[in-house]
Amino acid sequence: MRHSILLVCILFCISAHSQTDTLSLVSDVDTIFIPKLTGETFTDLKKFNGNQYINEDWVEGNILLSSGEMIYKTKIKYNGLLDELIWINSSSLRKIKQDKQQIKEFWYKNIQNESIHFKKISINNPANNQSEIFAEVAVEGKVSFYIQRKITKVGEENRYRDDKLYTFDVLGPKSLYYIKLPTNNYVAMTRIRRNSFLKLFPTERKSIVKMLNKNHLNFKTESSVAKIIELMNAEIF
């Protein structure tokens, strides 16, 4: 009898251990879905002529969550029309629109193999309401420079399909620039000009003009604006 009880106990332990291993394996397989990322299934919007994404191909990126956790090497696209980050599940190929509140920053490399960094910033929109957008980080410091890579409707185009006439929206890129001042206020600009930029810094204006002349700098390109702000942070602020 004593041997029978011992045998039953051994069989029970083996069975319990086997079940534990099985549950652990299922959990490991399930992590392919990256459970830390949440969102909803996304279907690309139709009836457009043009690309609604900033990066045309799926790229490998890293995502910093609001919780402080980092998701590495996941396939993403940034939708500039909707201002949303789209992730594709590598196993099911489902497209997922990420929960915007969950994401703080993300990075990927462009076709020139340059690292592109996007960050969620809070701004005041024309209706004087606070809103959150994803913007490319150009410079961060006492004075910061961000670029919103928007995709907008720039026109319409009529096309025939199956002898029926359809109207398509024509999409195109349109960048919007944000200067974050030392007061932590954001100033939005569709184009950065010398005079409008200098008006943002009335106290430091003379020092900035001197710096611009000394280094032969202008505001013709995004990279030149970034260089100006980097020097301002290093020499003036």
Q: What is the pLDDT of residue 127?
A: 56
Contact yes or no for 192/178 (Cβ under 8 A): no
Measure the CA–CA gap between 145 and 136, rounded to whole angstroms: 9
Lowest mean pLDDT among 6-10, 86-90, 94-98: 6-10
- Segment 87-105 mean pLDDT: 92
Q: What is the pLDDT of residue 125?
A: 64
pTM equals 0.81
- Segment 19-40 mean pLDDT: 47
Percent of the chain whose predicted confidence (pLDDT) is above 70: 83
For every residue of 119-183, DSSP letters joined together read: EEEEEE-TTS-EEEEEEEEEE-SSSEEEEEEEEEEEEEEEEEETTEEEEEEEEEEEEEEEEEPTT
Between 49 and 197, the higher pLDDT residue: 197
Largest separation between any pair of C-alpha atoms in the chain = 99
Is the per-residue pLDDT at 22 higher than 60?
no
- Segment 70-88 mean pLDDT: 95
Is the per-residue pLDDT at 16 higher than 50?
no
Look at strands 70-79 and 84-88 and give their pairing.
Answer: antiparallel
Q: What is the pLDDT of residue 26?
A: 27
- 3-class DSSP state of 46: coil
Model confidence over 123-175: pLDDT tens digits?
876 555 678 999 999 999 999 999 999 999 999 988 887 888 888 889 999 99
Model confidence over 194-237: pLDDT tens digits?
999 999 999 999 999 999 999 999 999 999 999 999 999 999 99
Is the per-residue pLDDT at 23 higher than 70?
no
Is the per-residue pLDDT at 31 higher than 80?
no
Q: What angle do CA 110, 101, 71 make, to 5 degrees?
A: 50
